[in-house]
Amino acid sequence: MNVLVIGATGDVGSEAAKAAVAKGHTVAALVRPSSNTNKLGDARQHIRLIEGDILEPLSLERAIANNDAIMISIRLTPGEMKKNRTYRDVEQHGVENIVAAATKASVKKLVFVSAAGVGPTCVSDMYQAKYAAEEAIRKSGIDHTIFRPSGMFKDFDFFHIPTVLKLGATNRWPYGPIDIHMNPLSHLDLATCMVLALDNPRAAFLTLEIGGPDCITQGELLNMIARIAGIQATYTEGVSKEQLIAMVRANPQQGFFTAEQLEDFIVDKMIDHKPVYELFGIPFQTVKAYLQETVPRIKAALNHHPQQFDKTPA
C-alpha cells in the first residue's frame, strides 16, 4: 500500500512510519523545512519526504496524490503555539484540510490518533478540536480507524518518574488525585496497531479507545516507580480534581494545562483491553516491564544531568 504519514517526525507518527516500512508498505512523510527527522532513524532512507504543512491545502494535495492511505498523528506543538496557531487551527482545521484533500484524491483509508475521553461534551479547546477532527473523518465516508489512546508510557519519562525521584520519601502527590484509573499504553504498540488497522477489515469505520493491558490507579503507578527506584514512598494522599483546577484558576500561568483541559483529562477511566487485544493480537508491553527498563535510566540521567529535568515539578 502507498501510505502517507502526517506527523511522521513526532513520537507516535515516527513509530507508525517505521512500522509501516517494516510491514513492506511504500511510505511517504509530510514534513516542514523545520522538521527534525531524527526519530525516523534508519527507516528514514526508505521514506520519501514531501514538504508541506497541514494548514497549506495545496501542499497537502501534492503530498496526498497517489497514496492509498494516510496515517495522521499531529498535535499543536510548542512551535505551532509560537506562531499563534491554536488547537482549532492545527488539530481541527488542519485535519479538515487533510480530509478535503483525501476526498479529492480518492484515498481509501484514514488512520487518526485522537485521545481517550474525547467526545461531544468536552469543554477544553484541545479536546473540542480533536472531536471536530474525528467528526470530519467520520463524515467523510472514507474508511477510517480512529484511535483514542489513553496516557502513554513516554509521558512518565519527563513527568511521573523524575517527579517521584525528586519528591523522595513522601506519601503525598501534589499534582492530582491518586485514586483515578488509567490504562497506560506504549506508543510503539499504538503505532503497530495503526499499521495493522490499514488493512484489517474488522478495524473499518471504527472509533476505538485503546489502552495497555494494565488498569491501575495513579497512586499504584507512583508506588511502582518508587519501589523500582528504591525510594521509601507510599502514596496515600493526592489533590482532588476540584482542588487542582482551583489552583490552576488562581495561577493560570504556572501550570502545563488550562483548567478546562484538566477538566477533560482527569477522569476515572477503565478501558477494556480485551477487544483491543482481540482486534490486533500483538503482545502489548506492561507498565511493570516499561518501568523496570526506564526508571534506572531516568535515575541515572537525573543524577548526571539534573538540569535536563528542570521543568519537571517539585
Q: Is 72 a binder of ligand NAP (CB under 6 A)?
A: no
Q: Is 198 a binder of ligand NAP (CB under 6 A)?
A: no
Of 28, 69, 73, 95, which one interacts with ligand NAP (CB under 6 A)?
Answer: 73
Q: Is 183 a binder of ligand NAP (CB under 6 A)?
A: no
The C-alpha R_g of the chain, in whole angstroms, comes to 20
What x-and-dash track marks residues 22-51 binding ligand NAP by CB under 6 A?
Answer: --------xxx-xx----------------
Q: Check: CB of residue 8 under 8 Å from CB of residue 17.
A: yes
Residue 20's nearest CA partner among 147, 194, 148 is: 194
Nearer to ligand NAP, 52 or 219 (CB): 52
End-to-end CA distance of the chain: 48
DSSP 156: I
185 backbone dihedrals φ, ψ, rounded to 5°: -135, 140
Q: Check: CB of residue 176 under 8 Å from CB of residue 265.
A: no
Nearer to ligand NAP, 155 or 293 (CB): 155
Q: Is 177 a binder of ligand NAP (CB under 6 A)?
A: no
Q: Is 212 a binder of ligand NAP (CB under 6 A)?
A: no
Q: Is 75 a binder of ligand NAP (CB under 6 A)?
A: yes
Of 50, 74, 111, 216, which one interacts with ligand NAP (CB under 6 A)?
Answer: 74
Tell me the one-letter amino acid at 23.
Answer: K
Residues in 121-160 that interact with ligand NAP by CB under 6 A: 149, 151-152, 155
12 backbone dihedrals φ, ψ, rounded to 5°: -75, -50
The span from the CA of 236 to the CA of 216, in Å, is 14
Of 63, 67, 71, 80, which one interacts with ligand NAP (CB under 6 A)?
Answer: 80
Q: Is 7 a binder of ligand NAP (CB under 6 A)?
A: yes
Of 3, 27, 53, 219, which one interacts with ligand NAP (CB under 6 A)?
Answer: 53
Q: Is 94 a binder of ligand NAP (CB under 6 A)?
A: yes
Least separation in angstroms between residue 126's CB and ligand NAP is: 7
Q: Give the three cell numbers for residue 150.
A: 489513553
Residue 62's nearest CA partner among 34, 88, 28, 25 is: 28
The span from the CA of 97 to the CA of 86, in Å, is 15
Nearer to ligand NAP, 6 or 233 (CB): 6
Query: Which residue is nearest to ligand NAP, using beta carbons?
Result: 10
Residue 198's nearest CA partner among 39, 25, 61 is: 25
243 CB-near residues (< 8 Å, 6+ apart): none
Binding site for ligand NAP (CB under 6 A): 7, 9-13, 30-32, 34-35, 53-55, 73-75, 77, 79-80, 90, 94, 113, 115, 149, 151-152, 155
